[in-house]
Amino acid sequence: MTRPRRLLQMQGVVLDLVYEVEAIPASGEEAVVTGFARAPGGGFNAMAAARRSGLPATCGCRVGTGPFADVVAEGLAAEGIDTALPRLPDRDQGVCVVLVEPSGERSFVHHDGAESRIADADLAALDLAAFGWTILSGYMLHYPAGRDALARWLWREAAIPCLLFDPSPLAAALPAEALRAALGRAAWVSANVAEAAALTGLADPAEAAARLADGRPTDGGAVVRAGAAGCVVAAGGRVTPVPGFAVDPVDTTGAGDAHLGAFVAALADGAEPVAAARYANVAAALSTTRRGPATAPDRQTIERAMRETTDGANAG
């Protein structure tokens, strides 16, 4: 069966306030800020990555009302991303403060808003037949205002299109019932090394990927992302390390989201999982060479980088 070429994003969009600092301050100390930017973040990042790789995307979570929500709405419109639900009238959008060090590493402080509010009626209103792929983040299973409705949806709704579950850095703290619902329903799990270890108890990325892939559908599997080292793909009974793409990073904010969005876009185009992961590795690496949360490159840039790498290897 051919799936519709559209992604449903079930991670809410927040407003990122990004501060470049010389160092993360210790308790009671102050950081010197060398740069500042604001932009949509959270679920926006993977949608933007997918969209730039040719996969249309729809935000399935709420956008609120207020100055933060207005910035988010403008960002979605500028990226060509539509929303499935009407704006929430009585709550502004959540905010994530991002502190970026000179190395490109980042730290986060988050306050939720309208994006965390989702009810049974909202989920019932989604036209699932219009989508071929769904992303669900563990962040949505953390929010008390929406996690129970989402868990019920995961258990009961048979029409959810191919689900990719990203457990998020909150993996170890997610309510057990909601986590079981997500893992039980997911065709794919995409987690970083720490998240995969939290879910499986296995520190080795290959072993964790194999464990996470166990019980997935025949066209599913697991990806364990290892930053600059690349990722490991477990699918079809095989575990395959996929090397990273070498760059000089300046900001790693949103790199995991770029990987997720590019990966699902490549799958939607018919790529085999390992090829999709190789494409996603390049997308994620290139995203770290620009400052900001939603810096995934477009398909042409990714494919050019892949060709240049192949040409260089052949010349050597």
pTM of the full predicted structure? 0.93
| Angle between helix 43-52 and 67-79 (nearest 10) | 20
Whether 137 shows a pLDDT value over 50: the answer reads yes
For residue 202, being part of any structural domain is answered with yes
For residue 305, being part of any structural domain is answered with yes
For residue 89, being part of any structural domain is answered with yes
For residue 102, being part of any structural domain is answered with no
Q: Which conformational region is residue 244 in: left (phi greater than 0), alpha (psi within -120 to 50 degrees), or beta?
A: beta
Average pLDDT, the chain: 94
Whether 316 shows a pLDDT value over 80: the answer reads no
Q: For residue 1, what pLDDT is reported?
A: 60
For residue 258, being part of any structural domain is answered with yes
Q: For residue 73, what pLDDT is reported?
A: 98
Range of the domain at 60: 41-93+120-311
To which residue do tokens 């040409």 refer?
311
For residue 29, being part of any structural domain is answered with no
For residue 2, being part of any structural domain is answered with no
CATH number for position 171 = 3.40.1190.20
For residue 35, being part of any structural domain is answered with no
Number of domains in the chain: 1
Q: For residue 293, what pLDDT is reported?
A: 74
Tens-digit pLDDT profile for residues 80-90: 999 999 999 99
Tens-digit pLDDT profile for residues 211-250: 999 999 999 999 999 999 999 999 999 999 999 999 999 8
Q: For residue 311, what pLDDT is reported?
A: 54
Q: What is the pLDDT averaged over residues 106-122?
A: 94
Which residues have CB under 8 Å from 291's CB, separation 6+?
Answer: 18, 20, 35, 37, 100, 250, 251
